[in-house]
Chain A
Amino acid sequence: MTTPFLEAKQIGVWYRSGSQVVNALRSVNLTINEGDFVCLVGPSGCGKTTLLHLIAGFLQPSKGDVLLKGRRIGGPGSDRAVVMQHPTLMPWMTVYQNVEIGPRTRGVSVPERRETVEHYLKLVGLSEFAQRHPYELSGGMQQRVAVARALANDSQVVLMDEPFGALDALTRETMQLELLRIWSLTGKTIIFVTHDVEEAVACGTRVIVMTPRPGRIVMDRPVEFSRSLLTDKRSMTSLRAVKSTSAFVAVREELMGSILGSADPPSPLASGVH
């Protein structure tokens, strides 16, 4: 049996909040294949960001292990780049320097990292803005820089925590298409947290539904619309068209039902108290 690419085994996370112990994740098992585009959806408090932070190494599980290629994740590392909800760029650096920081830190030679940076800036369509500073760009452009920065580090996994959550609807859909294009060109494994089910169904190859109190996985479903979006002309109209097909709506509603169904009936105190 081969070692899975990314594996979460019997994950439990508890933390203390005042006098209460909150159970953020309970018995989470997850296996992710290389090249997957996995979307984690669920209402706030369902532990999707906690799970992402475990994979990033920002957090250690209270119970269980997260393994990347069979090795336990003990902390943040350059093999798992994170894109936050906000761009988190370094305002004192130019766009170019921001994207360069990963390879620069790893000691990649100047000509080699110039090639990398230029490649990824081109990929996100910001070549002309290389010498600008982040505060000269719009929010959507800044987020594209953050994506380029994560990709330029040649990490195996890109973890995205509601990266388009702060963008307006139009920019958001443009970014969804951009991300799909980049994903298909780079073949990276993407783990994408969102609370927008439609976004998850459109972009992912797999959608994982989580529910809160305690956070756990209630559904794990393959979806195939991202592939068809890529073979299409990848225009906004085709994205709109796909999103309004009955097949798409059916999957979206099935997932919505799973989120709503598991949230009912409400169990206010049966929650995290352990």
Chain B
Amino acid sequence: MSLIHRGLTFSLRIEESLIPQVNQLLEDYNADQPPNESLCGTFFISWLTVPTQVYAGKEVLPARVIFMSSYVGNKRKHVDTLVNALGDKLRKVFAFSDEYPQKTLDSRSMARFIVKKSSFNAFYSGFKFVSTGSIASESQLRSYIFKWVEKQTKTPAFSSLTPSAIKSAIEKEVEKHPSFSSLMDDPEGIVWSKWKMLAMPGLFVMLMVASLLVAMGSIWWDMGLWGFLGWVLPDFFLLMFLLLVLLRKDENLESPPIDVISDEDYLEIVSREKNKVVNEMTVIAPLKPGRFRRIFLAVSLRLVAMVRYFAYIPTVHTARWLQLDRGKRLVFIATFDNQSEAYAHDFVDSEKRSRNLAVIFSHVMGFPKTTWLIHKGSDYRKDYMKGVRSFQFKTGFWYTLNRELSVENLKNNRAFRLGLNRKMKDEDIRKWLLRL
């Protein structure tokens, strides 16, 4: 069973004049949320419309309705779940698009249609390998054990036990509890999922190391056909360097001015964030002019997707980046702890993070200019915040499985569970107990 978190994104063109009708439908669906049981394996769904936008001052990018979900496990199974839970709603909204077939699609055809329309996205998860089912069970486990230990401490003898003895007592309590005993074992598929996620970056590194070794070896030996491997590493760097040089040329192009969103419109968007713990934001913007930006961004997003196992963005549950309209539009969506105004700060407040994210956002209209990709100009932070604001859109329909737990809560609950049945030193047990 795969525990890898993934993002599914698909979008259809619609006439801009139909946007109000689609938005009304999405608002209605938002008020009538599907039950969690019907969306097994799904963490989040954002469903919204985006109006036409202008690329490079001349090309009009079409209005779209965009559906984005975050899930764990198998893509096809997830699509089937979506079709079963939201089939009629999806059909009604899609019917506004000329890309949707005239005849009504049955569930199987609908699932095929969605898969066909889905696009690549670079996806990030802040609580890796946690399944939808284990969010609640791990939270209940921690809470139950906390109360149990709290009760035991009323007996002075319990508090004077060694850390190992206390851990054993906890493990016995978990084992004898029918709803928690299965949590004594590591989640099924976690090791396989980790290996799977590491496979791509691992292969890439191995390929590069092999290339380096072959290149070095070819100085002394004839490598025969293997000699071509020696060119992979230099070719890769050469290609990246070339792209960077071409990008530098694009960086000199002046971007057309953007319409800065009014305070009233922005207030309307952020006022929708009514959740006390988890909220969502969507930023959709055309790219800045320059044909190599599109290529550079596409390559960057694939590299980001490859190293996502190692990525860390604090307070973010999930995030994704993707290109639409032949790479001319960037979609960014994130679900995070607390409010978007604070969350957006997390990026610019840290020098390191703002540099990393410049690799993606520097290509997008409204975002500050950079040179050599990550070299920031003056007023970077102010312009960045202006960019986020100006291209933030209202999400008509937003579903979230978890409304109560922060990223740190989720990680903590998982770490507590994984500590069960693990051998630890007394000092580590003390730290583990602090997770309760």
User: Do A and B form a real pair?
Assistant: no
Binding site for B on A (CB under 8 A): none
Chain B positions within 8 Å of A, measured between CB atoms, are none
